[in-house]
Amino acid sequence: MIAVERIESRHLAGNLFGDPHLRDLVVYLPPGYEHAGRRYATAYLLHGFGGRAASWTLGPTLDGGYVRPPIQDVLDEAILRQGAGEMIVVMPDGWSRWGCGQWVDSPLNGAFERYVTEEVVPFVDGRFRTLAAPASRGVFGSSSGGFGAWHLASRHPEVFGAAALLSADSYFAVTHLPWFHRFYSRIFPDQPNGPVDGDICSWLCYGCASCYSPNPEQPPHYVDLPVAFPSGEVVPEVFTRWLAFDPVESWRERLSALRALRGLLLDVGYRDEYDFHFGHRLLSQRLTSAGIRHEAQEHDGTHGSRLVERLQVALRWLSRVLERTDGSEPLG
């Protein structure tokens, strides 16, 4: 069963884009929810760039050229036929005018990190029968949603006990910087002047800059870009701000939080057209060197070709690593 709630957020109010602070919240309740009095572990599913919470309920629909059923069908299949444990799955809205708030705090888009951790989680725990403890609360997502799962869990182990990263944004020096060179080449000799309709690279450049290098003192776009135009030279003082978010770099400052997690899954296709498999591999190597327990796996898909299957993989994995009972009730 799907429930759609509305949350008015103080952390999203007043963003420079003027994006709405009243947001949809989609909540999946497992098959046994209406008939059992027990409480459930909760998995927070974060959408990717260009998505919205309500997008999960649509379908069958084309997503990146691949058919995606509505999320209830995806999750029901995982629970009823694939052995995943019954859990509540919560889908917050991270949309911003330029694509996605990347689940981080920014004066341009709003404080999405605080929105999820300080507003959505308490709302869900108060509204639904959850096991309201980090050991029973996980976060997962694909692409920007996978990055968001990393960012929230690796900074807030007091909120989330596990994270599953599916094709997550990572290794920005290899995967993100080329977007600027492609964008600049397409518009030259014109100056960059915000996202260009039909040019995904321009949206990714400005969308990520609004999250990683916002500058409220720099109108009209209020961002610092990490690549100079027209030379294509990296601007070190700006790109350093981006790297503070990059999983292959940010893990160093988050070791204590990472050690506190019950589980961390890195899942990616080795044909990912955004090359995020290189980021996953490097992150896994660095986590291994630091003694951080995690699982890393690769499949033969592209960035989104096996999304439905990988969401189900993540749900099964989360149902194994999260505590799904308080000890007083049998698992259903």
| Nearest of 57, 298, 296 to residue 164 by alpha carbon | 296
Its pTM stands at 0.96
Q: At what angle do helices 177-187 and 200-212 cross, to 10 degrees?
A: 130
* Beta strand residue intervals within 159-235, DSSP E: 162-166
Find out whether 74 and 26 touch, Cβ atoms under 8 Å: no
120 SS3 class? helix
Could you say which DSSP state residue 146 is in?
Answer: H
pLDDT at site 37: 84
Q: For the segment 64-120, what is each residue's pLDDT rounded down to a tens digit?
A: 777 889 999 999 999 999 999 999 999 999 999 999 999 999 999 999 999 999 999
Could you say which DSSP state residue 309 is in?
Answer: H
Band the pLDDT of 332: cuts 50, 70, 90: very low
pLDDT at site 326: 56
Q: For the segment 161-196, what is each residue's pLDDT rounded down to a tens digit?
A: 999 999 999 999 999 999 999 999 999 999 999 999
Distance in angstroms (rounded) separating the CA atoms of residues 180 and 238: 14
**Interior angle at CA 62, CA 296 and CA 264, nearest 5:** 15
Cα 331 to chain centroid, rounded: 28
Provide the mean pLDDT of the chain: 95
Beta-bridge partners for 40: 130
Give the domains, in start order, of the chain with CATH numbers. 2-170+247-321 (3.40.50.1820), 173-243 (no CATH)
Q: For the segment 262-296, what is each residue's pLDDT rounded down to a tens digit?
A: 999 999 999 999 999 999 999 999 999 999 999 99
